[in-house]
Structures are given as structure tokens and as C-alpha cells.
């Protein structure tokens, strides 16, 4: 079998390992427009911060491709795809045939068509090269505006502050991290960042990037105010990189539409990771889930199925484990429910910046926020994944001592036997 993978991050690497779990000898060719050995994209802010050295950025050991029998064509851009001919056309004009193809090209930064975006000093914050280019231009006191108060924008903000930059954040929503936090939790996070000198301009956006002699010198906000800056980081968000599928028969919604086996509607072509639109079993609909563990799991299942297997991927859900200036948080699933079928359990201690929220539907946990109190988050995640009915013990979910002791007897026994079997295999 001749396998081709476009993408070199979590989904692509998962696919390599999925293929090799079933097919030890098939030819695997992997393409990436970046020149780097596979690395972990969530670490780029820690690289800029100085927490992670270059040799710790990599997602797999240096000999990964060799051990897996992969021809890795790094720094090679794929320009187009012909589904009828089953071939890719590279930027060089070379044509590459495939029997099975995985599209795992990830996402691309959202950059609105604002005036001045081509000025020197304007950066995006998605790839390693973005961070390396930004790093070269930093100095203590450099005035920086970050557009976007989502995960990417705030991780960039934290790193920039550590590097001595003066940072202002512009966000269209009424709060930071609006996709993963409610108003109360977001307010606590914003307070923490403000204590480190970050200024916020919420419910606003950049209407124009101002420049002088070809370099950025400031931004004009939608409300008319002007903020002087020497650097601008656009971190509004990421959209699925569906460019190869566009103009083909492959079905695209927001991302490339896949079934439970990660197959597209075109035979022999699969998609996984941030480019794919798979099933979110908490929202009960197809969604793009740009989360690294989800991308790997999708990629692995896709790899198995590319070999002829039938490994079903039941779906995933969004989950984030992050922190800003030593304020840790874990959020997952539905955190801003709408509808009478949901119930919210909340514990808040503003003085300690502790906030815990559990969202229930039909007696099951479908979402939670754990801010500055993350010890029991793993248990909550397990309850969500296994869709356990928590109604008999829901009053214990927010307690500090919440644990397996509160679970039904049959579930405790199941978890106990799992632990025993795991110990015996170790």
C-alpha cells in the first residue's frame, strides 16, 4: 500500500503510528511545508517565554521517521490535489501518486483584511517560525498590541510580558477566553493578567494598523482610540486549513467533513486533526476540535482505517489545561450552557481566585471549569468520557475531598480492576 500524509503535527504523527500498528511494510510518505522535525505547537509560547529549550520542542525522538520507515519530505509545499487521478502536485510541479491519503494540514491563522497588515512588525502566532521571527525583534519595554484574548493571544501575552514587553490586548468579546470560560472565571483570569501590567480593550477591535516608513507604529481601534505600538501580534484565532480540498469533490463545511472512521466522502481519502470536522458527543454535532490529544487520536484511528481496518472514533470534546502566571485552569466541554435541560453547580472564592463549575445534562457531566482548583479535574473528565450518571452523588462533585469513594459501588469495582490489570501488565 502507498500511503501519503499531508501534515507533520499530532494528527499526522498519529496516522503514522496507526498505519504501522497494522501495516509494517507499506510505503509512507509525509509532506510538511515547515522544515522542522515534528514539534509540539502548544509549546511555541513556552519557547518564546524561555521555559522550553529548542531540543525540548520535538513531539517525537530524532530518529522517529527512520524507525517508522517514513519518507519525510519536510519543507515541501503541496499545491493541489486531484481526487480523480489520486495524485498531489507539489510546488515544484512534481506529481505524487497515492492509494490512501490523509489530509492533516491543521489550521491557519485568521487575519482580517485590515489596512496595514503588511507592515514590518506585524506577526501571527501559530508556527515556530512565527515565534522565532518575533523573538528576534523583542527588547525590554517594546510596546506590543495583541489582537485576540483567546488561548493563543493570552499565551502570547504571557510570554511577551516575561520578555519585558508592554502589552495591550484588544478583544471583540466582552471577556477573555470567551470560548472556554464564563464571565466570572474570565474576570478572575483578567484580574491576574492585569496585575502583571497587561491592559485590556474589550468589546473592541483594530480597524486600522498605523505605520510610518513601512513599520508599524500603532493601531486605531473601532471606537476611534489610537494605541501606539512597536509590534503587533494577530492572534484572533485559527481556521481549518482546507485549501487542498477546496475545488475538489471532498465535502467541506467549516472543516473537512469526516465519518466515524475519519473517512471523507471520497474513497481512499481521510482527514484528521484541526482540519477535520468530526463528532463532538457532548454538543451532539459535528465540530472542529483543535485540541492536540484529539488530533492524535483521530490521526491514529485514521491510520488504522487507511490500512483497511475499521476502528471507529466515537467522537471527542474540547478540553484545555493551561495556566497564566501560575494561575492554573482546566476547562472541558460545555461551559456556557443554553437551555432548560442543563443544570450548573458552582463554587466560587474570589479572594483566592478559586472557581469551580460543573455543568450537568440528563444527570451526566457535560462540562466543567476548574480555576485554581484543578486536583479533581481528571476525575470529572473521566466521568464525561464514560458518560456516567452522577445524579446519585452530584452534591459531592464540588467538594475538595471528592473522589472515587463517592462513586457507585459497581463503578468503583470496575476502576479497581482496571488498576489491578494495569499493574499486572507493567
Whether residue 96 is contained in a domain is answered as yes
Residues 331 and 421 in one domain: yes
* Helix, strand and coil percent figures for the chain, each rounded to 5: 30, 30, 40
d(CA 426, CA 416): 16
Residues 154 and 216 in one domain: yes
Residues 243 and 98 in one domain: yes
**Closest CA relative to residue 239, chosen from 126, 147, 315:** 126
**Sequence-separated (6 or more) residues with CB below 8 Å from residue 191:** 353
Sheet holding 285-287, edge to edge: 256-257, 276-280, 285-287
Residues 127 and 228 in one domain: yes
Q: Where are the beta strands (DSSP E) in 222-352?
A: 226-228, 231-234, 238-240, 256-257, 269-271, 276-280, 285-287, 319-324, 327-333, 342-349
What does each of the 426 residues of the chain score in pLDDT, given as a tens digit? 999 999 999 999 999 999 999 999 999 999 999 999 999 999 999 999 999 999 999 999 999 999 999 999 999 999 999 999 999 999 999 999 999 999 999 999 999 999 999 999 999 999 999 999 999 999 999 999 999 999 999 999 999 999 999 999 999 999 999 999 999 999 999 999 999 999 999 999 999 999 999 999 999 999 999 999 999 999 999 999 999 999 999 999 999 999 999 999 999 999 999 999 988 999 999 999 989 999 999 999 999 999 999 999 988 899 999 999 989 999 999 999 999 999 999 999 999 999 999 999 999 999 999 999 998 899 999 999 989 899 999 999 998 888 777 776 766 666 554 544 343 344
Tell me, what's the pLDDT at 402? Answer: 86
d(CA 397, CA 359): 11
d(CA 107, CA 109): 7
Q: What's the distance, CA 309 to chain centroid? A: 27
Residues 128 and 141 in one domain: yes
Domain boundary among 193, 217, 236: 236
Q: Domain range holding 349? A: 326-425
**Closest CA relative to residue 117, chosen from 252, 15, 234:** 234
d(CA 53, CA 405): 41
Q: Is 255 left (phi over 0), alpha (psi -120 to 50) or beta?
A: beta
**Sequence-separated (6 or more) residues with CB below 8 Å from residue 175:** 149, 181, 183, 186, 187, 190, 202
Residues 58 and 162 in one domain: no
Joined grid coordinates for residue 328 = 492554573
Residues 100 and 244 in one domain: yes
pTM above 0.75, yes or no: yes
**Total domains, the chain:** 3
Q: Is 88 left (phi over 0), alpha (psi -120 to 50) or beta?
A: beta
**Closest CA relative to residue 177, chosen from 197, 202, 196, 194:** 202
Domain boundary among 208, 236, 264: 236
Q: What is the DSSP letter of 406?
A: G
Residues 42 and 191 in one domain: no
d(CA 176, CA 34): 31
Whether residue 68 is contained in a domain is answered as yes
Tell me, what's the pLDDT at 412? Answer: 65
**Closest CA relative to residue 227, chosen from 218, 236, 238, 235:** 218
Whether residue 313 is contained in a domain is answered as no
Residues 212 and 143 in one domain: yes
Whether residue 319 is contained in a domain is answered as no
Whether residue 115 is contained in a domain is answered as no
Whether residue 130 is contained in a domain is answered as yes
Tell me, what's the pLDDT at 360? Answer: 98
d(CA 9, CA 135): 22
Residue 331 belongs to a domain with what CATH number? Answer: 3.30.390.30
Residues 348 and 393 in one domain: yes
Whether residue 207 is contained in a domain is answered as yes
Q: Are 234 and 109 in contact (CB under 8 A)?
A: yes
Tell me, what's the pLDDT at 405? Answer: 74
Whether residue 232 is contained in a domain is answered as yes
d(CA 227, CA 219): 5
Residue 206 belongs to a domain with what CATH number? Answer: 3.50.50.60
Residues 249 and 229 in one domain: no
Domain boundary among 216, 236, 256: 236
Q: Are 16 and 30 in contact (CB under 8 A)?
A: yes
Residues 208 and 270 in one domain: no
d(CA 83, CA 95): 13
Amino acid at each position: 500500500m502507498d500511503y501519503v500524509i499531508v501534515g507533520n503535527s499530532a494528527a499526522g504523527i498519529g496516522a503514522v503510528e496507526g498505519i504501522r500498528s497494522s501495516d509494517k511494510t507499506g510505503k509512507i510518505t509525509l509532506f510538511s511545508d515547515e522544515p522542522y522535525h515534528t514539534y509540539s505547537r502548544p509549546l511555541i509560547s513556552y519557547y518564546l517565554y524561555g521555559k522550553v529549550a529548542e531540543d525540548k520542542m520535538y513531539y517525537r525522538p530524532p530518529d522517529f521517521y527512520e524507525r517508522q520507515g517514513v519518507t519525510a519530505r519536510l519543507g515541501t509545499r503541496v499545491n493541489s490535489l486531484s481526487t480523480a487521478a489520486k495524485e498531489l502536485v507539489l510546488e515544484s510541479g512534481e506529481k505524487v501518486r497515492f492509494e490512501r491519503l490523509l489530509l492533516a494540514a491543521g489550521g491557519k491563522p485568521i487575519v482580517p483584511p485590515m489596512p496595514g497588515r503588511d507592515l514590518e512588525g506585524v506577526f501571527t502566532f501559530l508556527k515556530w517560525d512565527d515565534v522565532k521571527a518575533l523573538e528576534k525583534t523583542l527588547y525590554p519595554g517594546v510596546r506590543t498590541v495583541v489582537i485576540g484574548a483567546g488561548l493563543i493571544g493570552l499565551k502570547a501575552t504571557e510570554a511577551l510580558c516575561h520578555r519585558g514587553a508592554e502589552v495591550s490586548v484588544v478583544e471583540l468579546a466582552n471577556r477573555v477566553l470567551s470560548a472556554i470560560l464564563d464571565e466570572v472565571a474570565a474576570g478572575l483570569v483578567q484580574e491576574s493578567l492585569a496585575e502583571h501590567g497587561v491592559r485590556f480593550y474589550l468589546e473592541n477591535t483594530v480597524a486600522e494598523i498605523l505605520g510610518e516608513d513601512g513599520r508599524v507604529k500603532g493601531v486605531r481601534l473601532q471606537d476611534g482610540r489610537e494605541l501606539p505600538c512597536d509590534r503587533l501580534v494577530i492572534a484572533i484565532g485559527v481556521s481549518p486549513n482546507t485549501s487542498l480540498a477546496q475545488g475538489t469533490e471532498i465535502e467541506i463545511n467549516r472543516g473537512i467533513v469526516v465519518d466515524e472512521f475519519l473517512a471523507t466522502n471520497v474513497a481512499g481519502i481521510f482527514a484528521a486533526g484541526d482540519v477535520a470536522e468530526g463528532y463532538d458527543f457532548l454538543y451532539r454535532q459535528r465540530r472542529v476540535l483543535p485540541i492536540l490529544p484529539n488530533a492524535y487520536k483521530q490521526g491514529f484511528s485514521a491510520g488504522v482505517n487507511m490500512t483497511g481496518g475499521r476502528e471507529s472514533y466515537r467522537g471527542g470534546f474540547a478540553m484545555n489545561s493551561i495556566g497564566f502566571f501560575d494561575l492554573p485552569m482546566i476547562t472541558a466541554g460545555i461551559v456556557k450552557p443554553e437551555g432548560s435541560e442543563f443544570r450548573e453547580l458552582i463554587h466560587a472564592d474570589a479572594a483566592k481566585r478559586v472557581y469551580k463549575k460543573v455543568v450537568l445534562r440528563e444527570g451526566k457531566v457535560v462540562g466543567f471549569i476548574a480555576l485554581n482548583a484543578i486536583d479533581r479535574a481528571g476525575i470529572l473528565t473521566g466521568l464525561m468520557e464514560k458518560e456516567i450518571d452522577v445524579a446519585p452523588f452530584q452534591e459531592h462533585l464540588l467538594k475538595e475531598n471528592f473522589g472515587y469513594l463517592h462513586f457507585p459501588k459497581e463503578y468503583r469495582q470496575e476502576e479497581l480492576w482496571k488498576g489491578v490489570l494495569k499493574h499486572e501488565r507493567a
